[in-house]
Amino acid sequence: MLFNSYEFILIFLPLVLLATWIMRFFGRIPALLSLVIASFSFYGLWEADYIALLVLSIFFNYMIGNAVYSTHNKSLLAIGVAANLCLLAYYKYRLFFGAMVGLPAEGSLLIPLGISFYTFHQISFLIDVHRNNVSPRGFAEYLLYVTFFPQLIAGPIVRFTEVISQFKNNRAFKLTYSNTAVGLTMLAAGLFKKQVIADSISLYATPMFQLAETSTPVTFIEAWTGVLAYTFQIYFDFSGYSDMALGLARIFGIRLPVNFNSPYKATSIIDFWRRWHISLSRFLRDYLYVALGGKRRGKGRRHINVLVVMLLGGLWHGAAWTFVLWGGLHGIMLIINHAWRDVVGTRWRIPSWLCWCLTMMGVMLAWTLFRAESLHAVWNIWQGLIGIDGRLVLPTSYQASLGSLTPLVEMIGFQWVTTEIVARSFPTSGGWLLACFVICLGLPNTQAWLRRYRPACGLVYGDLDARSALGATGLTLQWRPTLVWAGLTTAMLVVAVYHFGNTSEFIYWQF
């Protein structure tokens, strides 16, 4: 069941709200268990075949967690982590690794929904228990921690320490006016980003990537249009999902950690990864990078650790070489960024606008690896981006004016625009791309917009408006529970629901 579906918005969510409201009269635990049942139902309505796998994973990790807590035995921790990784490897990577060693592929690979996320949830739980950061007591709370439907399928990757005190609070799961207003506002904003912006801009990205898979050369205009479109598509798709996840949790009085913090305002690739998929970056840093030694063994070892972490982070996104190379490219960019800071430090400052341009160029080049289905398509697109092999185009109106220079221009690599090329170059995309650019850089994000009401946990509020064009003018957008903002929220929700006929899955649901 998708968040962006009639079934969820008009049937599932109202029923869950009603059930939670009724059960809360009988106490905190009945309300909690009603959310557990709702979460299993949410998962089962989408993928009933793998509910047993989810249940077994929960029972196994809870028992291992209690054993680790009682004995502080590192071997038990290793067994628990290894079992989780083996489960993930079997369902997600067996064909990929099998192909590497020459094993024949048997059937298609069906990946249980959300396995990457609930596996990482439980690995972090085991490690935190071993580090004495949390007690595993409370099976009902642990059930909800793993299965809570707003974050079950695609995160954020939540730590048990972040929600256990909220689950055990005497006021937990009470439906209040403030929580409902903030939560519905975030839900509406997320739905609008996904349905109206992300899915609309995908119409300009998808055809180019499909074309790149063929033997047809992708022209300069096509390549830049498609890559820019996908750059904004994945931004608003993931930003929209993150808003919806946090908003749905907030309706029930739970604050999840922020997972998306205006990454396209970043002025370095290090800054980008502090803003994009924050919960995954944090998991990889605290549970993998630190375990590998971090930066404790010198700068050379730090660079190796960064590259290893990013390669594995890329592989986590999907069992394909394109994802591995995407992670590797980001790892190389991070190493260059760290090395630059180590050598130059503050002695030579590059203008912020140039830092931003370099960062976005690297991010966009990497997105082609993330989106393309083959390395052939990536190479086809990259050739188009730099205009080699006759992919640069000039309007035919220039042909006559160039006169004798025409052969020279054609020899350099230009070709003249034909009707077919214009049709393939998506000339109507300019308005959408400009609008996306303005929203990403000119407006505060949802967390900054709602910061008075702390929509999430683990975010330093107040630093985002200064990083936007709107903030530079002295104007601010601050949400308040007024009729005006209620009207805007309702309008976003109505427009988003109107677009449900073109509903597509969230990009991160495939991971």
Catalogue the active-site residues.
317
**Token pair for residue 139?**
């099976």
Torsional class of 216: left (φ above 0), alpha (ψ -120 to 50), beta (otherwise): beta
Vertex 313: Cα angle to 310 and 319 (nearest 5) = 125
- Give SS3 for 402: helix
* CA distance readout (Å), 144 to 1, 33, 385: 18, 8, 47
CA dihedral 88, 34, 277, 95 (to 10 degrees): 20
**Token pair for residue 458?**
């683990």
- Give SS3 for 348: coil
Please state, as a whole number, how many other Cβ atoms lie within 10 Å of the Cβ of residue 493.
18
Please give the span between the terminal C-alpha atoms of the chain, in angstroms, as a whole number: 16
Query: Which amino acid belongs to residue 115?
Result: I
Vertex 399: Cα angle to 398 and 405 (nearest 5) = 105
CA 43 to chain centre: 20
Q: Beta strand pairing status for 414-416 and 392-394? A: parallel
* Residues in Cβ contact with 231 at an 8 Å cutoff, skipping those fewer than 6 apart: 363, 364, 367
Measure the CA–CA gap between 481 and 479, rounded to whole angstroms: 7
Measure the CA–CA gap between 238 and 185, rounded to whole angstroms: 17
Q: Are 23 and 31 in contact (CB under 8 A)?
A: yes
Cis omega before residue 156 (within 30°)?
yes
Q: Are 504 and 195 in contact (CB under 8 A)?
A: no
Q: Are 43 and 54 in contact (CB under 8 A)?
A: yes
